Amino acid sequence: MTTAITITDVSITPVAVQDPPLLNSVGVHEPYALRAILQVRTDAGLVGVSEAYGDDPTLDRLRRAAAELPGLSIWDLNGLSRRVAVGLGEVAPDSPTELAGAPSVAKAIASTVSAFEVALYDLQGKATGLRVCDLLGGAVRERVPFSAYLFYKWAGHPGQEPDSFGEALDPAGIVAQARRLVDRYGFGSLKLKGGVFPPDEEIAAIRALREAFPEHPLRLDPNANWSVATSHRVATELAGVLEYLEDPTGGIEGMAEVAAHTGLPLATNMCVTTFDDVPPAVAAGAVSIVLSDHHFWGGLRASQKLAGICETFGLGLSMHSNTHLGVSLAAMTQLAAATPNLTYACDTHSVWQVEEVIEPGAIEISGGAVRVPDGPGLGVTIDQDALARLHEQYLGCGIRRRDDVAAMRVRYPDWTGARPRF
Ligand code: GKR
Ligand code: MG
């Protein structure tokens, strides 16, 4: 029998973590990426943890919602949604980054619910001794495969020493980067973040990867930086080479035009990012694969609902990632473990983070996969010293909202980040 356990207070700690100069369709990563670490305390002395975006608008929403949570039972996930709605009241459309689709009210609400829902699942696990994946229906896999996330990158941020990853600006650099990640982590599939250089250069990089890694499934994601015509051309060239092509162009209509002329599966984390996007995307035949992301789809239960919808409509399901830390990786892994039709290796930015907020040992990538943490709950513990240090870094870094366009202007003052560029 479970006892009533209610929330007493919530702390929300923004942190900044070092991030390398990774290039994408709108610009380049800033020297620091922002995250928020949530600690939800209860009258039973349990603390549930979660990780969310750490930009100012997100923090504002989290704080407004947190004020409504004392007294909420840790079992009452529907009550959580109601209280978050009360706390947020009228909310502005938002998206954590232009690379995860258009801003929307649904996304702003969903990301707030998600942040607390993960912490409640962590609490439920701690109260019962169960892992989150067991609370979500049980693990269908104990090891969750992730893909190597390859990025074109500069050697270092402007004005800084080269970082330990080095430069990757051409096919040879991308192959070397892939080799390093495969050797170190055993990744069994490779995803290249494209939309950076003219498509022929990125096609050459994919061909070089195919040559160097004949058996690895390959993906290319230009984050909607190509016109429909360019997308047609690249899709034709890379048919039979890629496992899937992710967001070649913008919008459901554009993606449908591309899909109509290629046998290459198209995936998205940009044109289908809320439940409202699903019916028009299915009707238009715009995508074959949806990349879920519990952070902005509304949490772990909402992601399972998305999985069911994908199954019903014959869509594949993969998992998207922005820059994140170990708490999110644990949540992603627990969710993927309990989602039968999540059969593609998931994305993770983890390999690019040299700083961490959880105690070491809970999460390692080996053999290209993460073993589901033992639990209870998410199976991770916040390293309070690391949290304090990364919070100090947040206070000092001056960044309050991700802006890859501004970071690019440091080197290219006329940069606009406007898409499609090719
Ligand atoms: O961090 O540069 C990046 C990525 O491009 C990220 O922002 C995207 O949202 O990885 C994401 C994607 O798959 O589109
Ligand atoms: Mg993507």
Count of domains observed in the chain: 2
**Could you tell me if 144 and 264 lie in one domain?**
yes
**Could you tell me if 228 and 310 lie in one domain?**
yes
**Could you tell me if 210 and 128 lie in one domain?**
no
Q: Which among 412, 376, 399, 398 has a CA at the least distance from the CA of 121?
A: 376
The dihedral sign for the CA sequence 183, 185, 189, 192:
negative
Q: For residue 142, what is the domain's CATH number?
A: 3.20.20.120
**Could you tell me if 202 and 284 lie in one domain?**
yes
Q: Which atom of ligand 1 is nearest to the CA of 24?
A: 2
pLDDT of residue 361: 86
**Could you tell me if 90 and 209 lie in one domain?**
no
Domain-located, residue 1? no
Q: Is 267 in the pocket of ligand 1 (CB under 6 A)?
A: no
- Residues in the chain predicted with pLDDT less than 50, given as ranges, are 1
Tens digit of each residue's pLDDT (9 = 90 or more) over 261-287: 999 999 999 999 999 999 999 999 999
Q: Which residues pair with 49 in a beta bridge?
A: 39
Closest-lying ligand to the alpha carbon of 221?
A: 2
**Could you tell me if 147 and 168 lie in one domain?**
yes
pLDDT of residue 2: 57
**Could you tell me if 25 and 120 lie in one domain?**
yes
Q: Is 97 in the pocket of ligand 1 (CB under 6 A)?
A: yes
**Could you tell me if 99 and 199 lie in one domain?**
no
Domain-located, residue 407? no
**Could you tell me if 243 and 274 lie in one domain?**
yes
**Could you tell me if 219 and 365 lie in one domain?**
yes
Q: Is 95 in the pocket of ligand 1 (CB under 6 A)?
A: no
> Which amino acid is it at 302?
A
Residue 66: domain span: 7-133+384-396
**Could you tell me if 91 and 182 lie in one domain?**
no
Q: What are the structure tokens assigned to 68, written together?
A: 């409504």
pLDDT of residue 412: 98
Tens digit of each residue's pLDDT (9 = 90 or more) over 338-396: 999 999 999 999 999 999 999 998 899 999 999 999 989 999 999 999 999 999 999 99
- Unique residue bearing structure tokens 């980054």: 97
How many CA within 13 A on the CB side of residue 57? Answer: 16
Distance 333 CA to ligand 1 centre (A): 18
**Could you tell me if 151 and 35 lie in one domain?**
no
